[in-house]
Structures are given as C-alpha cells and as structure tokens.
C-alpha cells in the first residue's frame, strides 16, 4: 500500500485520499513547541475519529492543547508526529473542505452581511446567480435575511456569530470546525445559539468538531465528548452522551454526564 503522504499535493493543501475513509481521523498526533530552550510537548499521541455527520466536542483544562489541536486539524500549524485526515485525505494546509468559526467573529467590517457570507464563494466556480442563491439559502438558514445589507458594526455579538456560521457553511464544507464560538456572548444568547446550531446541524447533516471549555455546553451539544488532559496534552477519555435531544439541564442524565466529564478534567462535580 502506498504511504498516505505519497499522493500529489492539491492546490488546497491536501494529499491523496485513503480509500473509503469518511469523517475526520486524528491519527497519533503529537506536537512539540521549541519553547524558550525547553521543548514543550503540547500534544502527545492524540487519536480519535469523528464520523461523517457526527457532532463531537473537545473539552479539557487550560493548557491541555485544545488550541494546538484545533490549529493542526484546520491545517494552520503542522503536527510534529502523526496526521489528521478529512474524508481520507491528509491535511497539510488550510482547505475549503473545512468551515472554520472562531470566538472572534473575523467578519470583514467593510462588507455587508451578504457580502461576508458570500466571500468564500467568490473563488468558487459557481455562476453569479448560483452564488446569490447560495447566500440567500445561508441567510435564511441562520435567520438573517432581513439584515443582508447591514454592516457588522450594527449587529449584536450573537448576530455576528450567525454570519460567521453562515459564511463557514456557504462553501458546503465536509467539516464545520468551531473554536469556542460562543465564548464572547452573554449566557442567554449562548443558549439560543446552541439551539440554533443544533438545528443547522440537523438540517445540513454536517460533521461538527466544536472546542469548548464549558462542560455543560459540550453535554448540550455533542454526540461524543473527547475529554483531554494536560502535560502532555492527550485524550483522557471519550464520553458518549446517550441523552435524547433536545437536552434539558434539569434532567438527571444531563447532570450525570456533566459530573462525569468534570471529574475527568479534575474540575470536581
């Protein structure tokens, strides 16, 4: 069998695909930073999979390597060991197969809502009419059609994050990769965005990998939670959240999952 790194590199930073593999595979990923003379082992032998269409959250204490792992998966930094594959293809740089949403909205302030959502489509081979149709669909999906001509500065934090989600989904990526996306909004907006994200996930069938330090948020959203531990950053356990959606925080099964994950990350019950 040919080595997975032997395939030709494509323009969007990926090499040849592993036959039949779908979803995301994090395969023996390690990362050592040079540090200030003392090497820092930020990730050590991290392996887990995300099935196509699955919603997986990544949680862990500060310093366990969440940001580093997110950046490796997104192709923003190289792993020292191992590799990440999306739909069987090793990630070697940022790719259009991933829609990335950060805590800071990263919207272009000089573009309107619809121009922000359509930004990634500009480089696609869709016609102008197809692009406009896709932008309409995405604005409808996140409930922002009537704000299409607004500029980001006139939007609330929750609305800005909806624009960022619509923009990430517009190019129809295989994976939606989210790093603490609701960390900057108030608690009420956060719960609303969580519900909306679950609706978007259910209606689009996308694979979602969502990083958060909020255990209750992970239990609200995820099919499975990858719990990480620090020094070196590694997978402590993968927890299945076998609770029907929509999930209620007052449900004893919800509380049991929160307690279990908190215990694993050493935050107490």
Residues interacting with ligand ADP, by CB under 6 A? Answer: 33, 35, 40, 42, 60, 62-68, 233
Least spacing, CB of residue 130 vs ligand ADP, in Å? 38
CA distance 240 to 146: 39
Cα–Cα distance for residue pair 258/184, rounded to 1 Å:
22
Q: Based on CB atoms, which residue is closest to ligand ADP, 35 or 143? A: 35
CB nearer ligand ADP, residue 67 or residue 145: 67
Nearest approach in angstroms of CB 158 to ligand ADP is: 24
Q: What gap in Å lies between CA 52 and CA 155, rounded to an integer?
A: 33
3-state secondary structure at position 124: coil
We find the least distance from the C-beta atom of residue 65 to ligand ADP, in angstroms, to be 4
Q: Which residues pair with 89 in a beta bridge?
A: 86
Residue 132 in 3-state DSSP?
A: helix
Residue 104 or residue 251: which is nearer to ligand ADP going by CB?
Answer: 104
Q: What is the dihedral of CA 104, 158, 140, 57, to 10 degrees?
A: 60
| Residue closer to ligand ADP (CB basis): 159 or 225 | 225
Structure tokens at 176: 């939606």
**Shortest distance (Å) from residue 219 CB to ligand ADP:** 19
């Amino acid at each position: 069998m040919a080595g997975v790194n032997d395939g030709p590199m494509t323009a969007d930073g990926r090499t040849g695909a592993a036959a039949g593999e779908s979803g995301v595979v994090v395969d023996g990923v390690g990362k050592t930073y040079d540090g200030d003379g003392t090497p820092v082992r930020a990730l050590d032998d991290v392996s887990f999979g995300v099935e196509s269409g699955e919603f997986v959250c990544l949680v862990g204490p500060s310093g366990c390597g969440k940001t580093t792992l997110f950046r490796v998966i997104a192709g923003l930094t190289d792993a020292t060991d191992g590799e990440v594959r999306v739909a069987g293809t090793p990630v070697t740089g940022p790719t259009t197969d991933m829609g990335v949403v950060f805590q800071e909205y990263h919207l272009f302030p000089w573009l309107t809502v619809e121009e922000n959502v359509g930004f990634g489509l500009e480089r696609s081979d869709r016609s102008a009419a197809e692009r406009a149709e896709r932008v309409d669909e995405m604005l409808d999906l996140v409930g922002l059609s009537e704000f299409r001509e607004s500029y980001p500065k006139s939007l609330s934090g929750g609305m800005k994050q909806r624009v960022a989600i619509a923009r990430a989904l517009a190019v129809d990526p295989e994976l939606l990769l989210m790093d603490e996306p609701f960390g900057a909004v108030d608690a009420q907006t956060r719960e609303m965005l969580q519900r909306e994200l679950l609706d978007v996930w259910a209606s689009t069938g996308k694979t979602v990998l969502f990083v958060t330090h909020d255990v209750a948020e992970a239990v609200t959203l995820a099919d499975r939670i990858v719990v990480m531990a620090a020094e070196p950053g590694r997978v402590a356990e993968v927890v299945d959240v076998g609770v029907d959606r929509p999930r209620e925080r007052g449900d004893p099964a919800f509380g049991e999952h929160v307690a279990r994950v908190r215990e694993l990350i050493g935050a107490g019950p």
